Amino acid sequence: MRQRFTARAVVVGDRAGTVVPDAVLDVTDGRIAWVGSAAEAPDARDAEIIALPGVLTPGLVNAHSHAPMVLFRGQGEGLPLDRWLREVMWPREARLTADDVEVAMTAASAELLGNGVTTSVEMYFHPERIAAAVGATGARAVIATPVIPLPGMPPVAEQLAAAVALAASGPQDGTVEYGLGPHAAYTVPLPVLRDAATAAREHDLLLHLHVAETATEGAELLDAHGLSVPALLAAHDVLGGRVLAAHCVHLDDADLRLWQEHDVAVAHCPASNAKLASGIAPLRAMLDRGLRVGLGTDGPASNDALDLFADMRLAASLARLLGASATALTAAEAFWLATGAAADAIGRPDLGQLAVGRRADLVHVDTRDLAFEPVGDAGDLLAHLVWSGGGRFVRDVWVGGRPVVSDGVATRVDVAALRADVAARAARLAA
């Protein structure tokens, strides 16, 4: 199967912010075979031609999400993280069924695709049903099976053993990848975290956990051990391998040096951190140290959107405010954090950029709108994507060259029926 896409421009998704005007991109068997200017394109007489009036970008990569939380969108408004979890989220989640999770994830996956997000890192219950949901919509997911001591759940050691067994037997086609998701050092015993890290390194799995989301979450650990959470994780051999730490808002220079030493990647979630008043992560300091950082929405109950374009804009704005500099994070870097950088952060070099050999996860952004004018040079298109664009301009999406969104509508699931189903299930869980 061979396809040729033509577009006003291709935005590559690299750190430099490369934009190719009047562009052509060829796809063969779900992978990018050629990309460049139309004037230099090779012959394609046997290809299906797909002419697009707008810009072609990589599929966005959401580095941290609990997408089935669409069931709880807007609940607990105004509460800080600790009360939001204990008073609102965990009681509702105790009533969740596997069917609830699959329906919610299917709806959320359609929403993500509609916003140009083709891959998400999910940490939520019933991971096999999450996999079934993204299989239905045609998206990709890295599913970090959660390990957390909550009432009604098996002991955490049993949860971990089941998570490792699932990951070891999971599919290998690049569509669904299972990892390990021990919640955090303040909820999961340190020996279990160490065992999870050992298993992740042994099987080359993503180890995904929350770190330093709030200023006080590590206070008891600091009192008991005299170490910050990053230092405690290092001391217990949790770091090393494919470690992805979500949030990382409250890290000092010593913590950042540890992250650099152990090549810990960060999922930066500016909207969730702002909504819950958790703080502003030191993004510029992370990038200057060479840390791998990707953007995440976090869950739709703490963002409350699944629009990674909005998070790009907020990430750049907060970085500039924190650094008191309008150059603290460029538009090119902001877009890269949701594409190539995010793919690197989660250990997926096959995703995130429009480059030869990578998977053909493509997003058509319709630029026939005043939000994308004026354009003095090709770089202006990238700036408009970050500062005045948004998920609402996404018209078409392909995953591995297969269409999953057409004219703004998910093609593989009934979105209206899903919306009604989610509303009914959310009402039951809140009762």
Same domain, 8 and 113: no
Same domain, 52 and 68: no
Establish if 429 belongs to a structural domain: no
Given this model, what pLDDT does residue 78 score? 87
Q: pLDDT averaged over the chain?
A: 96
Given this model, what pLDDT does residue 82 score? 85
Binned at pLDDT 50, 70 and 90, residue 431 comes out as: confident
Q: Percentage of the chain surpassing pLDDT 70?
A: 100
For residue range 331-387, what is the model confidence (pLDDT) as tens digits? Answer: 999 999 999 999 999 999 999 999 999 999 999 999 999 999 999 999 999 999 999
Same domain, 36 and 178: no
For residue range 245-284, what is the model confidence (pLDDT) as tens digits? Answer: 999 999 999 999 999 999 999 999 999 999 999 999 999 9
Tell me the C-alpha distance between 142 and 180, whole Å.
10
Same domain, 44 and 84: no
Binned at pLDDT 50, 70 and 90, residue 425 comes out as: very high
Tell me the C-alpha distance between 401 and 399, whole Å.
5
**Who contacts 325 (Cβ-Cβ below 8 Å, separation ≥6)?**
none
- pLDDT of residue 310 exceeding 80, the answer is yes
Given this model, what pLDDT does residue 85 score? 87
- pLDDT of residue 42 exceeding 90, the answer is yes
Establish if 350 belongs to a structural domain: no
In this structure, what CATH number is given to the domain that contains residue 237?
Answer: 3.20.20.140
Given this model, what pLDDT does residue 81 score? 82
In this structure, what CATH number is given to the domain that contains residue 8?
Answer: 2.30.40.10
Same domain, 337 and 281: yes
- pLDDT of residue 328 exceeding 90, the answer is yes
Given this model, what pLDDT does residue 79 score? 87
Last residue of a domain, one of 345, 371, 397: 345
- pLDDT of residue 151 exceeding 90, the answer is no
Establish if 120 belongs to a structural domain: yes
Establish if 416 belongs to a structural domain: no
Same domain, 238 and 378: no
pTM, to two decimals: 0.97
Same domain, 337 and 374: no
Instruction: Tell the burial category of 338 from Cβ atoms under 10 Å away from its Cβ (0-12, 13-18, 19+).
Output: buried
Q: Span 308-321, mean pLDDT?
A: 98
Same domain, 165 and 241: yes
DSSP of 196-241, one letter per residue? HHHHHHHHT--EEEEES-SSSTTHHHHHHHSS-HHHHHHHTT--SS
- pLDDT of residue 65 exceeding 80, the answer is yes
Binned at pLDDT 50, 70 and 90, residue 169 comes out as: confident
Establish if 353 belongs to a structural domain: no
Given this model, what pLDDT does residue 185 score? 97
Q: How many domains does one find in the chain?
A: 2
Same domain, 9 and 153: no
Same domain, 36 and 164: no
Instruction: Tell the burial category of 417 from Cβ atoms under 10 Å away from its Cβ (0-12, 13-18, 19+).
Output: exposed
Residue 272's nearest CA partner among 315, 239, 238 is 315
Establish if 105 belongs to a structural domain: yes
Establish if 65 belongs to a structural domain: yes
Given this model, what pLDDT does residue 170 score? 76
Hey, is 267 helix, strand or coil?
strand
Same domain, 222 and 152: yes
* Residue span of the structural domain in which 103 resides: 60-345
Q: Percentage of the chain surpassing pLDDT 90?
A: 92
**Who contacts 309 (Cβ-Cβ below 8 Å, separation ≥6)?**
60, 115, 116, 338, 385, 386, 389, 390, 391
What is the end-to-end Cα distance of the chain in Å, rounded?
A: 50
Given this model, what pLDDT does residue 152 score? 87
Given this model, what pLDDT does residue 37 score? 98
Radius of gyration of the chain from Cα atoms?
A: 21
Establish if 413 belongs to a structural domain: no
DSSP of 368-386, one letter per residue? -SGGG---SSTHHHHHHHH
Given this model, what pLDDT does residue 103 score? 98
Same domain, 35 and 156: no
For residue range 382-418, what is the model confidence (pLDDT) as tens digits? Answer: 999 999 999 999 999 999 999 999 999 999 999 999 9
